[in-house]
């Protein structure tokens, strides 16, 4: 098996939806990220082994999304590409999939990535209207066409907006997380404290120049716009609950991710190929794991990473404490805290296949350059953002081991281990 090298990542600044990137498509954002990698690593005219990209909020015309992004770059058009969609874990999943192919010796180079925007949202119409328009197109006579046209009602013309709810429960991710934090006894104060730290870490990382070679200017935007270096615990505490209108909820706009537009991409290679190209290796992808929970029958929607991490640790003969860096996706501060508390619970860890609790982690090693609450969460872009950020942290440390964990809609989780 070949070693899978993380060479480097590029992303556009993440911004609040319906603002700076209004009417900018997923394809335009992600193509810009690919072109940034092409420029930095002199890939113009080069054929890569594979490109895997994804987006959640896709148009029906984006069936060939990844390939169209590649064709918009200076890469050799003989570079193949395909789409992946695993909700918020999409671009971590693309990274793992491509890493397996590099490890197997099938390919030497690859780009993973993802993009999402709410500002160019793919509106749909009711299925009844689609059926009627399909029948109208197939009509052969004027009478048939007239009959189909007169069957269309005003209610058929009402647009259907995509909604981030679970089809099986009709509940939003935030509502599911409110149930989780109640089950695990996570307080509002704990959630706000984690959110505050996320903003402070991200702001400090920008001050130190950490993001200078990861984030490039796009559409006049030079840096992430959601990070608040002026927030305070008092400001966070003053925000109203976002998902529980009884006033007893604990999730707010301050300790949850907000709708975000953005894209990110990551260059990977075999260790041998990286050496041939004189590409410095930031870190190595060691392993990955996916899991799912039965949230329909009572398990917490965003708890699947607890299972994935437990299986991945056992396979690699590691303990939860055997890491120098922890990057846990902050869909909500409460979701991160639920996972940490679950790993400390002996009874819960028995479900994970462990005879004892996985234990606690050193919080000073968690999301040290900021997490999704501060940086933002363009669904399919988050995985590649986290991998690139983590690989650079390991490079700057001069070595170490990192755990990456991402929860997703549908009650799934994607996790990975990086080393240097």
pLDDT at 407 > cutoff 80: yes
Going from N- to C-terminal start, the domains of the chain cover 124-160, 173-210+286-419
Tell me the whole-structure pTM to 2 decimals: 0.94
Strands annotated E in 12-156? 15-16, 50-54, 81-83, 109-116, 124-125
Which percentage of the chain shows pLDDT scores above 70? 98
pLDDT at 63 > cutoff 90: no
**pLDDT digit string, tens, across residues 173-194:** 999 999 999 999 999 999 999 9
What is the rounded distance in angstroms from the CA atom of residue 413 to the CA atom of residue 420? 24
pLDDT at 146 > cutoff 70: yes
pLDDT (0 to 100) of residue 122? 74
- From the candidates 33, 69, 88, 349, which is the catalytic residue? 88
**pLDDT digit string, tens, across residues 156-176:** 777 766 677 899 999 999 999
- Would you call 224 exposed, middle or buried from its count of C-beta atoms within 10 A (0-12, 13-18, 19+)? buried
Pairing, β 412-419 against β 283-292: antiparallel
In the residue annotation, 78 being an active-site residue is answered as no
Pairing, β 159-160 against β 124-125: antiparallel
What is the rounded distance in angstroms from the CA atom of residue 383 to the CA atom of residue 336? 16
**pLDDT digit string, tens, across residues 351-395:** 999 999 999 999 999 999 999 999 999 999 999 999 999 999 999
Which percentage of the chain shows pLDDT scores above 90? 85
Q: Give the confidence band of 348 by pLDDT, cuts at 50, 70, 90.
A: very high
**pLDDT digit string, tens, across residues 230-275:** 999 999 999 999 987 677 899 999 999 999 999 999 999 999 999 9
CA atoms within 13 A on the CB side of 92: 34
Residues 6+ apart with CB under 8 A from 329: 88, 336, 371, 372, 377, 382, 386, 405, 406, 407
What is the rounded distance in angstroms from the CA atom of residue 197 to the CA atom of residue 189? 12
pLDDT (0 to 100) of residue 32? 98
In the residue annotation, 88 being an active-site residue is answered as yes
CA atoms within 13 A on the CB side of 186: 27
What is the rounded distance in angstroms from the CA atom of residue 399 to the CA atom of residue 402? 10
Alpha helix stretches (DSSP H) within 300-419: 304-315, 333-343, 346-351, 372-375, 382-397
In the residue annotation, 377 being an active-site residue is answered as yes
What is the rounded distance in angstroms from the CA atom of residue 406 to the CA atom of residue 99? 17
Per 3-state DSSP, what percentage of the chain is helix, strand, and coil (rounded to 5)? 40, 20, 40
Q: Give the confidence band of 285 by pLDDT, cuts at 50, 70, 90.
A: very high
Q: Give the confidence band of 140 by pLDDT, cuts at 50, 70, 90.
A: confident
Dmax (CA) for the chain in angstroms is 76
- From the candidates 176, 199, 329, 377, which is the catalytic residue? 377
Average pLDDT over residues 274-302: 98
pLDDT (0 to 100) of residue 373? 98
Note whether 332 and 255 are within 8 A (CB). Answer: yes
For 173-210+286-419, CATH number out of 3.40.47.10, 2.40.50.100, 3.30.2320.50, 3.30.70.100 equals 3.40.47.10
Torsion of CA 226, 231, 233, 238, to 10 degrees: -80
Q: ∠224-22-210 over CA atoms, to 5°?
A: 15
Q: What are the φ and ψ backbone dihedral angles of 19, each rounded to 5 degrees?
A: -130, -105
Pairing, β 50-54 against β 109-116: parallel
What is the rounded distance in angstroms from the CA atom of residue 303 to the CA atom of residue 152? 44
CA atoms within 13 A on the CB side of 141: 3
**pLDDT digit string, tens, across residues 316-335:** 999 999 999 999 999 999 99
pLDDT (0 to 100) of residue 161? 66
**pLDDT digit string, tens, across residues 6-24:** 999 999 999 999 999 999 9
Average pLDDT over residues 274-285: 98
pLDDT (0 to 100) of residue 245? 66
pLDDT (0 to 100) of residue 189? 98
What average pLDDT does the structure give for the chain?
95
Q: What are the φ and ψ backbone dihedral angles of 217, each rounded to 5 degrees?
A: -65, 135
């Amino acid at each position: 098996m070949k070693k899978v090298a993380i060479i480097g990542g590029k992303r556009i600044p993440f911004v609040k939806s319906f603002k700076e990137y209004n009417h900018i498509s997923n394809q335009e954002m992600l193509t810009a990220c690919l072109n940034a990698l092409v420029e930095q690593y002199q890939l113009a005219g080069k054929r890569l082994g594979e490109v895997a990209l994804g987006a959640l909020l896709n148009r029906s015309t984006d069936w060939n999304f990844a390939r169209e992004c590649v064709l918009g770059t200076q890469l050799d058009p003989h570079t193949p590409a395909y789409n992946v969609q695993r909700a918020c874990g999409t671009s971590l999943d693309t990274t793992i999939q491509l890493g397996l192919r590099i490890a197997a010796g099938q390919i030497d180079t690859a780009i993973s990535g993802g993009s999402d925007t709410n500002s160019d949202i793919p509106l749909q119409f009711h299925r009844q209207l689609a059926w009627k328009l399909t029948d109208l197109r197939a009509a052969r006579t004027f009478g048939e066409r007239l009959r189909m046209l007169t069957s269309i009602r005003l209610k058929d013309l009402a647009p259907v907006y995509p909604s981030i709810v679970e089809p099986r429960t009709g509940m939003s991710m935030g509502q599911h997380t409110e149930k989780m934090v109640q089950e695990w006894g996570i307080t509002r104060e704990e959630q706000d404290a984690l959110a505050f730290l996320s903003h402070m870490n991200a702001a400090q990382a920008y001050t130190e120049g950490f993001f200078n070679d990861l984030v490039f200017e796009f559409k006049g935007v030079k840096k992430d716009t959601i990070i608040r270096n002026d927030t305070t615990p008092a400001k966070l505490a003053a925000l109203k609950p976002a998902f529980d209108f009884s006033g007893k909820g604990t999730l707010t706009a301050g300790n949850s991710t907000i709708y975000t537009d953005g894209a990110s991409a990551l260059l990977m290679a075999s260790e041998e190929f990286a050496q041939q190209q004189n590409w410095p290796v930031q870190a190595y992808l060691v392993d990955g794991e996916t899991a799912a929970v039965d949230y329909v029958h009572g398990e917490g929607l965003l708890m699947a990473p607890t299972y994935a991490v437990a299986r991945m640790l056992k396979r690699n003969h590691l303990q939860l404490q055997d890491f120098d860096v922890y990057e846990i996706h902050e869909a909500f501060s409460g979701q991160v805290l639920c996972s940490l508390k679950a790993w400390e619970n002996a009874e819960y860890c028995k479900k994970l296949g462990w005879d004892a609790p996985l234990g606690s982690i050193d919080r000073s090693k968690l999301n040290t350059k900021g997490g999704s609450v501060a940086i933002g969460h363009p669904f399919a872009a988050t995985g590649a953002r986290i991998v690139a950020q983590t690989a650079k942290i390991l490079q700057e440390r001069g070595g170490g081991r990192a755990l990456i964990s991402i929860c997703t809609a549908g009650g799934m989780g994607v996790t990975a281990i990086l080393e240097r």
